[in-house]
Amino acid sequence: MGEAPVFYVENLKDRFSNGFNLRFKGFETSVDVGDKTFVIGSNNNDSISSIEVQIYDKSRGKWVIPTVLGTEPKRYEGHSAILLNEDRIMVITWGSTPDDCIWFLEVDTEYVKQQKKALGTEVIAWSKGVRGDAEKPVVISGPSGVGKGTLINMLMKEFPTMFGFSVSHTTRTPRIMEKNGVHYHFTERSIMEKDIKDGKFLEFASVHGNLYGTSIEAVEAVADLGKRCILDIDVQGAKSVRASSLDAIFIFISPPSMAKLEERLHLRGTETEEQIQKRLRNAKAEIEQGKSLGIFDHILCNDHLEKCYDNLKKLLGLDGTTPTNPKPSSKGINLPSKHAASKINNKILVKSETLGSGNPSKNSIVLDVSLLKGGAPGRTRGLNVFAVDPNPFSDCLNGIHKLS
């Protein structure tokens, strides 16, 4: 299984005589997937800041401009393109930073199929490739007054380097002392509505005329730091996250009884009796939904705070029986500035096209794609990187060692 077909500008002109309009002014490749050819190109045009894709439908003899979802790569000098599993194309860029050089163009994944059906048009989606794995995010829900905030604070205090919160988006205006990107990502309503439509949000709600929501990118950003993301959201939000592509652990915190919950709400002394009764009505509905809809993997009863916290730690593997070292933050991949790529089973061999580049480990590396997880509109994780033995007499794929 060799390198996916790569055609340069001259080849493309000869290959497509039926109305091919060369839009790209820079580097191009094309990859065949079934009865379609995906032409991936970068422009040497200051007004265009990212890569573009055209699709040639061979069955109809027509060119298609697809709807593009996900976060697109930035401009670069060139790229290699490799077809993986008939549903995505691995794009390895030239001249990019180490943390921005591996991308996946999804052309027939489940996410793309869902978006095609929803939008009624041809769809492609970009996903950034990341080395290594990330811990599953943790969704914690429960009615107001049940103590979930206290439990989360206890986790954060005991394991400050292991957990992190995603920063939510909102369309409301910042309040005094609020900082963009710290307290919220403040955005325009039209932008957030488009991102919601494009599937970039795990959950969202309208509160007093303003939109609030958790984006996939916000959760991924926590994982990029080597931390496990905690999502403190209500049952409806958890239901939306469960229906998304995010692979998470869902935990519902339940009170021992409604009478005990009412007692706790009164002890807080922050609300009127009318407000407390409203919270109790909402809590009853949330508890019924939390226990009956199949949303949650685990239900914890917060009868005694310390006992509930111990049980929460057990669910998260933090009870001392497993290592609690945090994941390292995402590392980049040092690739040759110009390279060619070929596929052998689940490994991609990347070889430098520049002779005498110095460090032999940078002349050839192997990317293992056998353990990929995730995908658009978030990251694609699970990439492993190996250096190739520079000895010219060694078997290329046997003489490799994993890079740290």
At position 363, the amino acid (one-letter code) is N
Amino acid at 84: L
| 377 upstream amide cis, omega within 30 of 0 | yes
* Sign of the alpha-carbon dihedral angle for 129, 130, 136, 141: negative
Asked whether the beta carbons of 97 and 119 are under 8 A apart, the reply is no
Name residue 381's beta-bridge partners: 373
Core vs surface per residue 84-104: b (16+ CB within 10 A) or e = beebbbbbbbbebeeeebbbb
Rounded to whole angstroms, the Cα distance separating 5 from 81 reads 8
In three-state secondary structure terms, 177 is coil
Cβ neighbours of residue 383 under 8 Å, at least 6 residues apart? 102, 129, 130, 131, 132, 333, 367, 368, 369, 372
Which CA distances in Å does 285 have to 291, 303, 334, 367? Answer: 10, 19, 52, 49
Q: Which residues contact 230 (CB under 8 A, 6 or more apart)?
A: 137, 138, 140, 152, 155, 156, 163, 164, 165
Residues marked as catalytic: 175, 268, 279
**CA atoms of 226 and 162, how far apart (whole Å):** 7
**Per the structure block, which two tokens stand in for 277?**
């009764």
E runs forming strands in 208-333: 210-215, 228-232, 249-254, 298-301
CA distances from 361 to 23, 269, 336, 342, 351 (A): 37, 64, 9, 17, 10
Q: Report d(CA 28, CA 12) in Å as an integer.
A: 8
Structure tokens, 190: 């039209």
202 CB contacts (<8 Å, ≥6 apart)? 213, 214, 215, 216, 219, 231, 237, 240, 241, 244, 246
